[in-house]
């Protein structure tokens, strides 16, 4: 019968031999497993020190175990990032390749991958294709609104200048006409000119009710090649008379290099005096103008007009002027003729001579008095013929231009003439105060 000490030694020997064979079986079985399985299911808390063996007996087994562990390259899946370095990235990538391309899939997160250490390198997981196409979300382009957007819109009508015509005309026969007519001129988007005129006029005459008139007109001007064309129209409002229409049209074209030929036509109330307005006399007038610049200091101007009145009368008039400049002075000669088919002054109220002619010579001066003041003076003398009867004809006038501002100036003038404009029991004379205000914008 064996002693207790011998039994104990025999038990230890059997136990040691069984454990040694178990370890060998485990290592051989593990060598046959895929390497990827180690990263999934191997319990990394395996404590080999629980195998109580002596170094002398276990040296061969431990060396073999170490060599197996080195060849399997087990990667821990729960270690902190601090336990990994970039040297391990190749191992992680090889395992990732085997997991994604083999039959085994895993949700293992490899913390040592470059995209984990640098989020800017993150590569999203490919999406498996589905039966329904995925519509990409529209990406709105980055657009920075400019701080200020320049307004490129063109105004419908840009005002260029304003002109106000003023005149107070009165004769020794008790007739007076006072005119106030402002006109605004501007440019359209296509370059055409648009002018709008309105006014407030008063016509007075002895023993006749005074007539007040408000004209409203608009005219359009366009340059088409060498032609310059103007067309316009409007209405005349009166305090005690019906509304009257007015029309105007003109065109001009250069003739050679020094001459301009124009043609005019207009229609409207004949605003000669109160009697003419009360009788609602209207007229069509038409005819040509010619301007010829003979030399740089000499020109010829001539016009012809024909008229048709609603009372059945007809008129024909012509005017020619030849002027030559001599420094600040000039000399000129004028010839004016006026002829009506019948004298309708007693019935219609307007001066309508069957034969009237004026021929005179004129001398004038215009120059700068002060830096802001220009003035001019004109005197003329000649002869006039009315129905075969000759008489002297003379006139004089003066006008000054005041420069109020760089874009604002004003004219003020006075004129006297004895050229016949009305018949009666005494010689006719007429006085006129004129003015004009011009503003540019």
What does the pLDDT read at residue 152? 67
Write down the pLDDT at residue 119.
40
pLDDT tens readout for residues 321-359: 999 999 999 999 999 999 999 999 999 999 999 999 999
For 103, 133, 134, 138, the CA distances from 130, given in Å and listed in that order, are 21, 7, 8, 20
- What per-residue confidence (pLDDT) applies to 426? 76
pLDDT at 66 over 80: no
Per-range mean pLDDT, top range of 34-38, 49-53, 150-154, 245-249: 245-249
Give the pLDDT confidence score for residue 6 in this predicted structure. 54
Average pLDDT value for residue range 180-185? 98
DSSP-derived secondary structure for 186-241? EE-TTS-EEEEEE--EEEEETTEEEEEEEEEEEEEEEEETTEEEEEEEEEEEESSS
The SS3 of residue 20 is helix
> What is the rounded end-to-end Cα distance, in angstroms, of the chain?
139
pLDDT higher than threshold 80 for residue 61: no
Predicted confidence (pLDDT) per residue in 286-327, tens digit: 999 999 999 999 999 999 999 999 999 999 999 999 999 999
- Averaged pLDDT, 231-254: 98
What is the DSSP-derived secondary structure letter of residue 167?
A: E
Q: Mind listing the pLDDT tens digit for each residue in 109-121?
A: 333 333 344 444 3
Cα 97-103-109 angle, rounded to 5 deg: 45
What are 93's two structure tokens? 């990538």
Structure tokens at 264: 């005019």
Other beta carbons within 10 angstroms of residue 440's beta carbon come to 14
Question: Taking the mean position of all CA atoms in its chain, how far away is CA 41?
Answer: 77
* Residue 340: Cβ within 10 Å count: 21
Q: What does the pLDDT read at residue 226? A: 95
* pLDDT (0 to 100) of residue 33: 44
What long-range pairs does 250-257 form, CB within 8 A, spacing at least 24?
Answer: 251/227, 252/227, 252/228, 252/289, 253/226, 253/227, 253/228, 254/226
Closest of 54, 46, 100 to residue 76, by C-alpha: 46
**423 vs 19: which has the higher pLDDT:** 423
- 238 falls in which pLDDT band (50, 70, 90)? very high
Report residue 281 as tokens. Answer: 């006399």
Structure tokens at 63: 């060396």
Return the pLDDT at 151: 58
Number of H helices, E strands in the chain: 7, 17
**pLDDT for residue 120:** 40
Q: How many CB atoms lie within 10 A of CB 20?
A: 15
What is the per-residue pLDDT for 228? 98
Which pLDDT band, with edges at 50, 70 and 90, does 28 fall under?
Answer: very low
């Amino acid at each position: 019968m064996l002693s207790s000490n011998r039994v104990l030694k025999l038990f230890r020997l059997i136990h040691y031999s069984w454990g040694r064979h178990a370890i060998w079986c485990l290592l051989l079985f593990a060598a046959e497993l895929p390497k990827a399985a180690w990263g999934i299911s191997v319990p990394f808390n395996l404590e080999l020190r629980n195998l109580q063996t002596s170094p002398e007996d276990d040296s061969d087994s431990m060396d073999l175990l170490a060599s197996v562990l080195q060849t399997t390259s087990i990667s821990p899946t729960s270690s902190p990032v601090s336990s990994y370095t970039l040297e391990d990235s190749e191992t992680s990538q090889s395992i990732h390749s085997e997991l994604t391309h083999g039959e085994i899939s895993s949700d293992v997160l490899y913390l040592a991958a470059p995209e984990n250490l640098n989020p800017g390198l993150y590569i999203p997981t490919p999406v498996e294709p589905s039966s329904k196409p995925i519509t990409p979300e529209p990406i709105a382009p980055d657009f920075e609104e400019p701080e200020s957007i320049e307004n490129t819109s063109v105004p419908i009508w840009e005002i260029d200048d304003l002109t106000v015509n003023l005149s107070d005309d009165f004769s020794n026969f008790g007739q007076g006409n006072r005119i106030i007519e402002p006109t605004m001129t501007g440019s359209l988007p296509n370059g055409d000119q648009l002018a709008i005129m309105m006014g407030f006029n008063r016509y007075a005459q002895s023993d006749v009710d005074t007539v007040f008139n408000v004209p409203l007109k608009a005219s359009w001007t366009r340059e088409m090649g060498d032609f310059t064309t103007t067309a316009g129209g409007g209405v005349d409002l009166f305090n005690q008379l019906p509304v009257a229409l007015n029309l105007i049209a003109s065109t001009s074209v250069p003739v050679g290099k020094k001459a301009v030929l124009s043609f005019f036509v207009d229609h409207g109330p004949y605003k000669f005096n109160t009697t003419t307005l009360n009788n609602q006399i209207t007229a069509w007038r038409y005819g040509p103008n010619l301007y010829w610049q003979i030399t740089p200091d000499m020109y010829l101007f001539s016009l012809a007009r024909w008229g048709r009145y609603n009372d059945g009368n007809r008129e024909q008039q012509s005017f020619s002027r030849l002027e030559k400049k001599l420094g600040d002075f000039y000399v000129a000669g004028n010839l004016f003729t006026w002829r009506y088919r019948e004298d309708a002054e007693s019935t219609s109220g307007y001066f309508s001579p069957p034969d009237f002619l004026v021929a005179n010579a004129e001398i004038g001066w215009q120059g700068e008095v002060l830096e802001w003041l220009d003035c001019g003076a004109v005197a003329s003398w000649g002869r006039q013929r009315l129905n075969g009867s000759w008489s002297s004809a003379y006139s004089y006038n003066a006008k000054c231009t005041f420069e109020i501002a760089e874009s604002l100036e004003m004219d003020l003038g006075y004129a006297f003439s004895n050229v016949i404009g009305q018949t009666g029991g005494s010689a006719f004379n007429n006085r006129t105060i004129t003015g004009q205000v011009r503003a540019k914008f």
